[in-house]
């Protein structure tokens, strides 16, 4: 059994054919992940007890002839901004170094109920703020394809774990690109579902109107099944959608002939030549499959970065107010008064990027500036959503780059926040509009760095998005 290349189907086959038990697989997977983690630092913690208990449960069900669930025995990694009962959840922050949540996120509960085995919690930028995983208090993650480069962020640990083969699938979170961008940098599939498709209950809030939980996997098929398991209405999240969840895998039938695809003009101008060439190659493959590709325009794109960094920081400044030394967090030892305790705890606990965003977000929400920044940004957000609605009147799906460049070197952009923010230019628009979007591998640069193709569809049309991505993957699009 080659752990690093397992798929969900292969795990099912192995368990049913009694080639291995869930306990054997889990034990081997944990050992493999621990060893490999020395190379990438993708995991912050391993949840060994919980994994072994879940594996025994799967074996018991199999022995009794019960259905152990669609994810039975599958090793899963969970980004450390998603809470796990009894398993430390740090959000990549020093502040939460001792935080043991008393409950599970809905997505976690659902994937365990489906038989999934949570091996551990993955490294990420502090409170999911970043594009390189360098903002983690637990050290940077290394890209398995080039160890001197970043895996992308903020779900860098989840993307690296799946790419490295220490988990079959993983959960990430995306507020402005944090699933798709690391998926692109690490050469795996990453999916940001429609806003509200997956419950946010138990996802630590960064920017609540933009936050999503979504899957990372080595194939479209596996990503589709993981989404299937975690999606659907949850009474514990009032923004979760009451929309039926289709059988995503049933749509992976290769039927893409005649699909109308739009290529946004504004997304092609700042690409490095190698990324541009790979995107052009992907478009050619899609045309060969019978899709009709035409150029479209998303005119508000130029304002997207400014709009996102006003809205996201405004919401973050409010959401991060709860980390005050009273609940959840470590508490500063040096405090004479309550106000001092707040100030010292937050001053010592938050990293530079979180502090920058709290200040920026507080500023754009303050009396006198609210109308000029926050309100303006909300209006621009509507324009961006309208751009997509107009485009989808003409085309069935949009294809685009994920990032202007492939994985960059560790340290290359960390001292230049503006350069870092610009790496999100093609991903934040999908989050602002709340539409489903994903990254699927579309080849590698001469240096061997993976590049992803982004696919975006209308709200709740994940099935169509998966169908297109799967047809592309089957046509060898990623090689």
User: Euclidean distance between the first and final Cα of the chain, in Å?
Assistant: 24
Q: How far is the CB of 176 from ligand GLN (least distance, A)?
A: 3
* Residue indicated by tokens 């920058």: 356
Select 209 or 474, whichever has its Cβ closest to ligand GLN: 209
Distance CA 283, CA 264 (A): 12
Select 68 or 177, whichever has its Cβ closest to ligand GLN: 177
Q: What's the length of the chain?
A: 479
Q: How far is the CB of 212 from ligand GLN (least distance, A)?
A: 8
Select 115 or 156, whichever has its Cβ closest to ligand GLN: 156
- The answer to whether the beta carbons of residues 84 and 101 sit under 8 Å apart is yes
Which residue in the list 21, 47, 158, 178 is annotated as catalytic? 178
Select 134 or 387, whichever has its Cβ closest to ligand GLN: 134
Which residue in the list 154, 173, 199, 423 is annotated as catalytic? 154
Q: How far is the CB of 329 from ligand GLN (least distance, A)?
A: 20
Neighbours of 371 (CB within 10 A): 9
* Residue indicated by tokens 């628009």: 429
Say which residues have a Cβ less than 8 Å from residue 423's Cβ, sequence separation at least 6: 131, 181, 403, 404, 405, 413
Q: Is 178 an active-site residue?
A: yes
Q: Is 327 exposed, middle or buried (0-12, 13-18, 19+ CB in 10 A)?
A: exposed
Q: How far is the CB of 343 from ligand GLN (least distance, A)?
A: 25
Cis preceding-peptide flag for 154 (omega within 30 of 0): yes
Q: Using CB under 6 A as the criterion, which residues of the chain lie in contact with ligand GLN when the complex forms? A: 128-131, 154, 174-178, 206, 312, 424
Q: How far is the CB of 403 from ligand GLN (least distance, A)?
A: 10
Select 131 or 136, whichever has its Cβ closest to ligand GLN: 131
- The answer to whether the beta carbons of residues 120 and 52 sit under 8 Å apart is no
Select 174 or 222, whichever has its Cβ closest to ligand GLN: 174
> Cα torsion for 273, 276, 277, 279, to the nearest 10°?
160
- Kind of pairing between the strands at 450-456 and 437-444: antiparallel
> Cα torsion for 88, 94, 98, 101, to the nearest 10°?
-50
Select 22 or 178, whichever has its Cβ closest to ligand GLN: 178
Select 131 or 194, whichever has its Cβ closest to ligand GLN: 131
Q: Is 158 an active-site residue?
A: no
Q: Is 94 an active-site residue?
A: no
Distance CA 117, CA 68 (A): 12
Q: How far is the CB of 120 from ligand GLN (least distance, A)?
A: 20
Q: Is 250 left (phi over 0), alpha (psi -120 to 50) or beta?
A: alpha
Q: How far is the CB of 452 from ligand GLN (least distance, A)?
A: 15
Which residue in the list 22, 79, 93, 132 is annotated as catalytic? 79
Q: How far is the CB of 247 from ligand GLN (least distance, A)?
A: 28
Select 33 or 96, whichever has its Cβ closest to ligand GLN: 96
Q: Active-site residue numbers? A: 79, 154, 178
């Amino acid at each position: 059994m080659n752990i690093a290349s397992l798929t969900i189907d292969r795990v099912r086959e192995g368990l049913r054919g009694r080639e291995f038990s869930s306990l054997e697989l889990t034990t081997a997977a944990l050992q493999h992940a621990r060893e490999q983690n020395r190379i990438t630092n993708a995991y912050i913690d391993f949840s060994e007890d919980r994994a072994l208990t879940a594996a025994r449960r799967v074996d018991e069900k199999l022995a009794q002839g019960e259905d152990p669930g669609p994810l039975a025995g599958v090793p899963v990694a969970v980004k450390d901004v998603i809470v796990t009962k009894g398993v430390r959840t740090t959000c990549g922050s020093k502040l939460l170094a001792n935080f043991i949540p008393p409950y599970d996120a809905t997505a976690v509960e659902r994937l365990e109920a489906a038989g999934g085995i949570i091996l551990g919690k993955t490294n990420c930028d502090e409170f999911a703020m970043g594009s390189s995983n360098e903002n983690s208090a637990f050290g940077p993650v290394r890209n398995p394809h080039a160890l001197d480069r970043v895996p992308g962020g903020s779900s860098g640990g989840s993307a690296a774990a799946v790419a490295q083969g220490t988990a079959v699938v993983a959960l990430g979170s995306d507020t402005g690109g944090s699933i798709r961008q690391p998926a692109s940098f690490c050469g795996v599939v990453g999916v940001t579902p429609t806003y509200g498709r997956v419950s946010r209950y138990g996802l630590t809030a960064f920017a609540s109107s933009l936050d999503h939980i979504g899957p990372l996997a080595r194939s479209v098929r596996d990503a589709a099944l993981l989404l299937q398991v975690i999606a659907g209405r949850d009474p514990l999240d009032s923004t979760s959608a009451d929309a039926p969840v289709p059988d995503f895998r049933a749509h992976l039938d290769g039927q893409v002939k005649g699909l109308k695809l739009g290529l946004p003009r504004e997304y092609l101008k700042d690409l490095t030549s190698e990324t541009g060439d790979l995107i052009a190659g992907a478009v050619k493959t899609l045309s060969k499959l019978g899709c009709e590709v035409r150029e479209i325009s998303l005119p508000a794109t130029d304002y997207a970065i400014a709009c996102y960094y006003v809205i996201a920081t405004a919401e973050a400044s409010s959401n991060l107010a709860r980390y005050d030394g009273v609940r959840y967090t470590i508490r500063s030892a040096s405090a004479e008064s309550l106000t001092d305790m707040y100030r010292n705890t937050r001053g010592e606990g938050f990293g530079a990027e979180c502090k920058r965003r709290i200040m920026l977000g507080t500023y754009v929400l303050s009396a006198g500036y609210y109308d000029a920044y926050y309100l303006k940004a909300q209006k621009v957000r509507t324009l961006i959503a309208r751009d997509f609605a107009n485009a989808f009147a003409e085309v069935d799906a949009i294809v685009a780059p994920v990032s202007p460049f492939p994985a960059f070197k560790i340290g290359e952009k960390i001292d230049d926040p503006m350069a870092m923010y610009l790496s999100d230019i093609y991903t934040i628009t999908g989050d602002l509009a709340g539409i489903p979007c994903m990254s699927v591998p579309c080849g590698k640069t001469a240096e061997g760095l993976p590049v992803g193709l982004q696919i975006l569809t209308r709200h709740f049309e994940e099935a169509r998005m998966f169908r297109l991505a799967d047809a592309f993957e089957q046509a060898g699009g990623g090689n």
